[in-house]
Amino acid sequence: MRPMNRSKSLRLPGLVFIGAVICGGWLLQSDVGSTSSIYLHARIFDEVMRHIENDFVEEVDVGGLYEAAFNGLVDQLDDPNSRFLTARDWEEERIRTQGDYRGVGIEVINLDGFITVSAPIPGTPAARAGMRPGDRIVEVDDQSVEGWVSDQAVGLLRGEPGTSVRIGVRRPGVDRVITFEVTRAAIQVPSVPFAAMLEGGIGYVPLLTFNRTTTREVRAAIDSLSAEGMTSLVLDLRANRGGLLTEGVALTDLFLDRGKPIVEIRTRSADPEAFVAMGDQAYSDLPVVVLVGRTSASASEIVAGALQDHDRALLIGTTTYGKGSVQSLFPLAGGNVLGLTTARWYTPVGRSIERNRSARTSRLGDGPITVTGNPAERPDLGDKPRFTSSGGRLLHGGGGIVPDLWVLQDTLTTVERTALDEILASGIGLFAARHSWAVDFLGRHPDLEPGFVLADADLESFHAALLERGFEVPLETFMQARRALEFSLGSDIASLAWDDLGRFRRARETDAQLARAVELLLAAKSRSDLFALAGSPLAVTAPADGGPAPGGDLR
């Protein structure tokens, strides 16, 4: 690894985002270099648009043309992480990365022509008022919103804390419109939806995103579990697409000694910027397993990569997404924002984990998939650059972070995959149908227990509901995808009935990756024992300065 030129504390100016696919920003900038040729091109572009607006034979949506032109320009970079964000898109991205907004606290989706409550956020005004998943919003402040899409209603539901809004909903099984008087508040979207104590003193903390409160939430969850007797930890990053870079660095800081490198940012022209641990390790004696998968991206890969490089945590799962780039935010007129890839980041031993993909070829492909619907990609380590961890273990660079122990969830057979593909290709709005059927199922089973089992009659009922929507896949083919359908429907029902914790408890029965983590943590007597049991033993003692061992390959 080449020397790090500068140390960087956590007190950084501006916002730092590195979310996957939906871009974020690194150093908030507004100055863009220009040349006379750029001005000439801009003038020509303006002239072309003016002629189209004034002289084209038919009236055109000029705003839509400009947006399409901006998107087309960025698309020519062939970079899936660079994007033109409209003011509305940027507001949604800001909420995702900062984790707060002002409103009533509900997640809504467009479902069968209605704005439908997907889930009230626990502890928010909407949840306290009694709004439920499946409620169809038909009125806001006595104004009908039937036929609207969710984006149109968001502006009415959000507002200053302390102001009130009347929300009228139609609820399955209730003939009249139910009206809720809800007082808006500052809503904090949690990055840690829950924490759970498993057997043998093993704590489980799922982390969904990196927003401004992530490190504080994770620390609170760990401290709470420690008070209950936790002796080891599973940190689940499998559904984490990234977010704020500063929070990824701060979270990693909790598990590393002062001065240990976390990540290095390299731009095209500026000197590298190194981020190092700024405080003493908060949980030095806590064995940690980190679960990773194909949807672990960006900031979650920074955390996983640094902990793996320093042998601080054992990584279990499948190869991560492979987003080793950083995006800068350039504010534009009208509240629009340009998110542009401006840097690459590297792990402490010098690994780049950027996957070779373009905006046009970023789909996951047609390979095997698991029962949970995730790609079952097997790692090809033949051409991956080789590195050495601080404890002498073999690591790999290249596309994504390869876990220390590769564990795959149960995969679909060829017959099951073919049947599922046919169902997904039917074009009947499967998600909407699933959600509606799950709401109806809960209405018919008010005393449902978390261990419920879906019978053949239940799947046949769902198939009948699909037929009413124009579904043409025969029942025999439909039932060939039973395992995948049971998982998705069961998860939908559990989420509606018991929120994220209920969904986790149900899914845990078939979670091979978590099961392997628990098995190893129960058997291990120490951190070195944990790595040895996983087949990735520590080969040497870490260097006295806490840095990585020599041997990093910067190919």
Average pLDDT over residues 416-424: 92
Residue 258: predicted pLDDT: 97
The pLDDT of residue 11 is above 60? no
pLDDT band at 362 (very low <50, low <70, confident <90, very high): very low
pLDDT at 545: 37
- Give the pLDDT confidence score for residue 542 in this predicted structure: 42
Give the range among 39-48, 279-288, 300-309, 373-382 with minimum mean pLDDT: 373-382
The Cβ of residue 502 has, within 10 Å, a number of other Cβ atoms equal to: 17
Cα separation, 119 vs 136, in Å, equals 12
- DSSP structure class, residue 286: -
Q: Are strands 394-396 and 261-267 parallel, antiparallel or unpaired?
A: unpaired
Q: Which amino acid is at 284?
A: S
- pLDDT category at 276 given cuts 50, 70, 90 is very high
- Residue 546: per-residue pLDDT: 38
- pLDDT at residue 28 above 50? no
pLDDT digits (tens, 9 = 90+) for 469-511: 999 999 999 999 999 999 999 998 998 888 888 889 988 988 9
Q: How far is CA 371 from the centre of its chain?
A: 19
Predicted confidence (pLDDT) per residue in 43-77, tens digit: 898 899 999 999 999 999 998 998 999 999 999 99
CA separation (Å) from 117 to 229, 361, 373, 548? 37, 34, 24, 49
Contact indicator for 272, 345 with CB cutoff of 8 Å: no
SS3 378: coil
Query: What are residue 265's phi and psi, to 5 degrees?
Result: -105, 130
Please give the pLDDT value at position 241. Answer: 92
Strands 273-276 vs 261-267: parallel, antiparallel or unpaired: antiparallel
Band of pLDDT at residue 251, cut at 50, 70 and 90: very high
Indicate which residues carry an active-site annotation. Answer: 298, 309, 323
Q: Please, what is the average pLDDT of the chain? A: 86
Q: What is the pLDDT of residue 540?
A: 52
What is the token pair recorded at 310? 């320093």
Segment 79-100 mean pLDDT: 84
d(CA 120, CA 530): 40
Residue 96: is its pLDDT beyond 80?
no
As a whole number of angstroms, the distance between CA 390 and CA 543 comes to 7
Domains of the chain by start residue, with CATH: 1-98+190-409+526-555 (3.90.226.10), 100-188 (2.30.42.10), 414-510 (no CATH)
Phi, psi of 275 (to 5 degrees): -110, 125
Residue 392 has pLDDT above 90, yes or no: yes
| Per-residue pLDDT at 110 | 84
What SS3 string covers 42-72? HHHHHHHHHHHHHHCCCCCCHHHHHHHHHHH
CB 168 within 8 A of CB 145: no
- Phi and psi at residue 83, to the nearest 5°: -150, 150
Distance between CA atoms of residues 197 and 312, nearest Å: 21
At residue 193, the pLDDT reads 93
What pLDDT was estimated at residue 33? Answer: 45
Mean pLDDT throughout 215-235? 98
- Section 508-517 average pLDDT: 94
**Does position 359 have pLDDT exceeding 70, yes or no?**
no
For 424-447, what is each residue's pLDDT tens digit? 888 777 888 898 899 899 989 989
Percent of the chain with pLDDT over 90: 60
Is the pTM of the predicted complex or chain greater than 0.85? no
